[in-house]
Structure 1
Amino acid sequence: MQTAKKVMVSPFRLSSLLRREKDPKLALHLFLNPNRHHPNAKPFRHSLLSYDLIISKLGRAKMFSEMENIMEKLKHDTRINPQEIIFCNIMTFYSRARLPNKALQLFDEIPSYRCPRTVKAVNTLLNSLLICSEFDKMVEVFAGIENYANPDACTYNILINACCVRLSTESAWNVFDEMLSRGIAPNVVTFGTLINGLCANWELDAAFSLKTRMERDFKIRPDAHIYIALIKGLCCVFRLDEAIKLKGEMLTKKVRLVPAVYTTLISASFKANRKGEVSGLLEEMRRNGCKPDTVTYNAMIHGYCKEKEFVLAFGALSEMEKNGCKPDVISFNVIIGGLCRERKVSEAYDLLEDMPRRGCAPDVVTYRTLFDGFCDVKKFKEAASILDEMNFVGYAHHTCSASKYVDALLLAKNKELLAYMFMLVKRNSLDRYMWRLVICLLCKDGSLDAHELFDGLINSHSLPVG
């Protein structure tokens, strides 16, 4: 029988295979050994595209050690002159992993890869440092920017954003003024960033003045993000009528409406005790071709739960599903939290059990909320059951939350206390405070069950020091 002939993988074919491979570890193996089993294999000449693909896959997977090995290989592959975008992507990967020093080091090394640095790399580095809250290092990089490139509007937008994040609007204005003095024209992002910062710092008059200035002096139309920032600012200071008027201005000026506009107004309507206007906002939203999203429905659910209108909250949840908008865990947690606050823990537990059927798994907040709810109504057996389920799915209870119920458990003098303590042992989560309460229990109750509990604790774990 004739053996099938092994086909040699070409650089073009390797790029295609790397693009399709979802597993970064398998992609790395393929990159390093494209023709490993071919009898006539020669040293492989990787293409720039192959380097780019494998570096991106490893960076997204946070396999930085492996990625850096590939980068070292690229550095010594003198046939190839990498493009700056590769280094920008890597700096972004480092920032997401909160590794600002890695991003700085890579920026310094870019010339060793036969690639010049431009303002694009500088901006990426500045944004990476901003993500990591390395504000002092941003100042250092910007001070030496002219060694690499001339700053552009994007550079100043990042610096303005950094000032706003630090709630230093005075510094943001200084950066804006410097931008203008250099002859760099601001764009809609510049104004949007500064207006958002002013609104976050409660400087609404200044924010509206800047909006007027951008339209009058710079002939730039505000976009939806600017309107949302202003509407949120007005709602935060309970100026709901003005916020609604600003939404009307969006319609007049044909600015594209987005769900966040109506979500903000719906949430504010509940806070202003004007829940009767919510249905009208929702109807107008649909009429204007703006489809409610998960955040919109969650705002409604939260508002109804605050008003103890649980029938309406469940109705919003059902309407959400009916309209093809999938509820997330926040949707359920808000209702469960509201029910528990009203001591309707049985209904809350029913909803927890119904979550998987509705395509949403409970998270640690769901379980902790139910645990607190059962403890509040002194249903310690059910609380222990929740704790056991948390243990099964790999979630830990909150020690502070659990500790505040131990006194009640001691007073209860029932077997649920023993079960509860054994659940804590399973999680290896008895802190010193809890151990002292266990000892207190033993001093108050000399029963066999208590001594068996203590023996179980000693056999499971060593006593904490102190």
Structure 2
Amino acid sequence: MDERKKVVKVVLKNSKNPKLAWHLVKRVLSCSSFSKPTHIEHLVTITSRILAGAKMHEELHQLHKLLLSSHPHHIAHPSIISIVRVLAQLGHIDEAFSHFNSLRAQFPSLPLSLPFYNLLLRSTLQHSRPDLVTSLYTHMIASRVTPQTYTFNLLIHSLCHSRAFDHALQLFDKMSLKGCPPNEFTLALLVRGLCRAGHVQQALDLVNNNHNSTPIANRVVYNTLVSRLCRDERNDEAQKLVQRMSQQGLFPDVVTFNSRISALCRSGKVLEASRIFRDMQMDAELGLPRPNVVTFNLMLKGFCKQGMMEDARGLVDTMKKAGVFDTLRSYNIWLFGLVRNRELLEARFVLDEMVTKGFEPNAYTYNIMVDGLCRNHMLSDARELMDVMISNGVYPDTVTYSSLLHGYCSKGKVFEAKRLLHEMRRKGCQPNTYTCNTLLHSLWKEGRTQEAEEMLQKMNEKSYQPDTVTCNIVVNGLCRNGELDKASEIVSEMWTNGTTSLHKGNSFASLINSIGNASNCLPDGITYTTLINGLCRVGRLEEAKKWFIEMLAKNLCPDSVTYDTFIWSFCKQGKISSAFRVLKDMERNGCSKTLKTYNALIMGLGSKKQIFEIYGLMDEMREKGISPNICTYNNTINCLCEGGKEKEAISLLQEMLDKGITPNISSFKILIKAFCKSSDFKGASELFEVALSICGHKEALYSLMFNELLAGGQLFEAKQLFEASLDRYLALKNFMYKDLIGRLCQDDRLADANSLLHKLIDKGYGFDHASFMPVIDGLSKIGNKQQADELAKRMMELEFEDRPVDRTYQNVKRVVPGKLQKDGGRDWQDIVNRDGGGGVALKTLKRVQKGWGQGSISSLLSQSNDFLDY
């Protein structure tokens, strides 16, 4: 073995110890043992790979200098070029160009080959550095290196990547003049670039050009066009293009059909895609290609996306029989479909089946399951699955933790979310901006402004660059908290350098400072709509209009949500004509009416009792396929009831039930009030029974019906309903029970009033003790002093039990075991001095006090031990 081979072998042997290898190479290159340029170039290439792999760029520059200082130029130059070549191939583009520019500056007349330039061009494109292509091509022309068609293809690829399509097309036209006619690859690159940018018509025109210099389109070009046309829902044109392929002898292959199926599934036209798929399976005589595993996976994904789970299951069975359901990708698609459609139990069985059949789930597989469990609020199960994941050697990544963190935040468990974030960092899994945004949004939602501000500060410290979503979360949070001026300031600063806000006293200055230097943090339509919505909600319409004008000036097109905000605000203020002017502008700008639009207009028209116009809007909704929701019906029912058209309102209630829309408590409140207002208490009672059967035995329904019966003078029915409410231990807050007791006493129904009081006491309710006064007064007036004294005594006992014993027990209430604690009582001195407290009742209370031999109720505090012990 000669000396050269020995050195190379030793260097390769020490490739895992790059520093030692470098010292060895330095020693070898300093002597003259390597005389042939090819030998030196071979050694430098190997050394460059070792040093570049270890990111020892400083040593590579030393190698560059060593070659120039110790060897003649004709030996050094090829070796230095090999350094550039290795760095470019390994993706160290900046370092490669540093060496290249240094060599070019020292030896401007150094001849370089076309393959070398092509290598550099290709590497810059592969590593997304099209900015270097222009200077490279300029130097190539200046060095009088003649480009080939392959070179022009690289240049066109670069121009398309930079979306400079006009220049790409010009270069395409000039290629023939430069002696390098475009080939089918040139055309394919241009067509793909134009289609990706949405310029499909330009791509079609290019293919249809019959100029002699234009190459004939191949199958790749046609497949690209078919795919894009299908994506743009231009299916007829795609079909014609497929026919044209056949006429030109380019029979569509499975890629062509997969492109069509993929585009159709993506646009939701799964049935149309399935027809093509079925033809591929059945019509072999037509010469159609047979579906491959990609075709099956595309159809499976399409069925799952549209919730067609029975079709998906049938397809999975077909795939298993055909032996094509044998890839991890197929299992992941099926797993994702099951989770998406909330078939979590079956998804778990599929996960077990994967393991049984020898398919090891990867991080993506587990992330599908974790995300599905979290979205269904099964957080403990998601946590357990993470443990299983780790035990199987698959470690959670940022997506796993982000899904779990989002689950905690959606349940309002901010403490657990923050703890998970710390755990994530501790285990070496760095959060991304999405993770931080999720927690930030939750903090704002929970009203924890101080913690949100601290979170923003940490994001800046950890160099998590805030994006537009971050800013929108902050703007939304400030608007919710009523800090609209701060929100407006942030939106303004998002367009300029945020450092100017540091002197404005804005507590979010650190965020704005980051925003000002971030090109990806410009306001979008959501930013403006959020701010406009906040301003409209507090009635600052003029300011909202100014922001709307600025939004248009910034070429940000408002959407239906933005317009709906203004329409809702105008309708709420009763400015119906202004709302319809906004509606006209909305339709003129191509924004369709939404359910929210109709609901706002119906609410506004209802306030003006324009029922005919409301019916017109509801008919229009049906024509456009927009189904009314509970809000639509409630607004219409309210308008009908206010106009005295209860029967029409009842028919709307029936329509709701027929359409499967469940009325809520508000629906019945409106109707019950309307029936009681017209003194149809029988109809109101029937509605009340229906409401209980649909909404359940809610306090809001009982208190509403009770108060309406009482206001209508239906004392017997009101008393019965109140007793039923007590039997259900409903809260008394909204019941006008004191008025019932007073009315019963006025009608000389003292026994009924007295029984209600005793029922309240027996049920353990803490209630307003002023309710005793009319009963005590009534009993005293008819001479039943003994019963009046007993009732007064009981009143004071209850008042004493409800009073705080000391500061420690100032919130203590009387509670009966097994019963709900209700509204508390009041100080008896306040009660007897009310206008409602009769003089006779007051005398009775004073007489009872004297009978006890106590000077005041406060002197009884020492007897509170029985209550405290209990």
TM-score range, shorter chain: 0.7 to 0.9
Paired residue for 2:478? Answer: 406
1:77-116 map, 5 Å: 80-84=146-150, 86-111=151-176, 114-116=179-181
248-257 vs 134-143, which moves further? 248-257
293-302 vs 115-124, which moves further? 293-302
Separation (CA, whole Å) in 1 of partners of 2:177 and 2:386: 57
Q: 1:219 to 1:409 in 2, by over 3 A?
A: closer
Q: 1:368 to 1:124 in 2, by over 3 A?
A: same
Shift of 1:315: 2.7
Corresponding residue SS for 2:175: helix
Shift of 1:58: 3.3
2:269 to 171, 193, 203: 203
Paired residue for 1:337? Answer: 406
Corresponding residue SS for 1:34: helix
Paired residue for 1:252? Answer: 321
Q: Report the residue type matching 1:17 in the other structure.
A: I
Q: 2:233 matched to 1:163?
A: no
Aligned 8 A contact 1:198 1:204 in 2: yes
Separation (CA, whole Å) in 1 of partners of 2:433 and 2:96: 34
Separation (CA, whole Å) in 1 of partners of 2:72 and 2:339: 67
Separation (CA, whole Å) in 2 of partners of 1:121 and 1:299: 40
Paired residue for 2:349? Answer: 280
Separation (CA, whole Å) in 1 of partners of 2:236 and 2:96: 49
Deviations along 1:103-145, one digit per CA (max 9) or x if unpaired, are 3333334345542211111011100111222223212211226
Separation (CA, whole Å) in 2 of partners of 1:376 and 1:14: 60
Q: Report the residue type matching 2:192 in the other structure.
A: N
Q: 2:381 matched to 1:312?
A: yes
Shift of 1:67: 1.8
Deviations along 1:390-413, one digit per CA (max 9) or x if unpaired, are 2222533633322333355469xx
Q: 1:81 to 1:385 in 2, by over 3 A?
A: closer
Separation (CA, whole Å) in 1 of partners of 2:145 and 2:122: 20
Paired residue for 2:759? Answer: none
Paired residue for 1:174? Answer: 240
1:219-298 map, 5 Å: 220-255=289-324, 257-298=326-367
Aligned 8 A contact 1:145 1:151 in 2: no
Corresponding residue SS for 1:404: helix
Q: Report the residue type matching 1:345 in the other structure.
A: V
The structure whose Rg is larger is 2
TM-score (norm 2): 0.45
1:297-446 map, 5 Å: 297-392=366-461, 393-396=463-466, 398-406=470-478, 409=481, 422-428=506-512
Give ranges in structure 1 of 5+ residues lacking alignment: 412-418, 438-466
185-194 vs 53-62, which moves further? 53-62
Shift of 1:312: 1.8
Shift of 1:289: 4.0
Separation (CA, whole Å) in 2 of partners of 1:52 and 1:325: 41
Shift of 1:33: 4.4
Aligned 8 A contact 1:387 1:423 in 2: no
Paired residue for 1:143? Answer: 208
Corresponding residue SS for 1:405: helix
TM-score (norm 1): 0.80
Separation (CA, whole Å) in 2 of partners of 1:178 and 1:424: 61
69-78 vs 306-315, which moves further? 69-78
Shift of 1:97: 3.6
Q: Report the residue type matching 1:180 in the other structure.
A: S
Paired residue for 1:123? Answer: 188
Q: Report the residue type matching 1:401 in the other structure.
A: I
Q: 1:112 to 1:294 in 2, by over 3 A?
A: farther
Shift of 1:304: 0.1
Q: 1:346 to 1:65 in 2, by over 3 A?
A: closer
Corresponding residue SS for 2:412: coil
Paired residue for 2:133? Answer: 67
Separation (CA, whole Å) in 1 of partners of 2:173 and 2:352: 55
Shift of 1:251: 2.6
Aligned pairs, number: 424
Give RMSD over aligned pairs. 3.3
Corresponding residue SS for 1:50: helix
Q: Report the residue type matching 2:70 in the other structure.
A: K
Shift of 1:12: 5.0
Q: 1:259 to 1:50 in 2, by over 3 A?
A: same
Tell me: higher relative CO, structure 1 or 2? Use CA pairs within 8 A at least 6 residues apart: 1
Deviations along 1:292-330, one digit per CA (max 9) or x if unpaired, are 333322221121012111122123333334444454433
Q: Report the residue type matching 2:289 in the other structure.
A: I
Shift of 1:178: 1.6
Q: 1:345 to 1:258 in 2, by over 3 A?
A: same
Separation (CA, whole Å) in 2 of partners of 1:46 and 1:355: 51
Give ranges in structure 2 of 5+ residues lacking alignment: 1-29, 32-65, 484-501, 517-522, 535-870
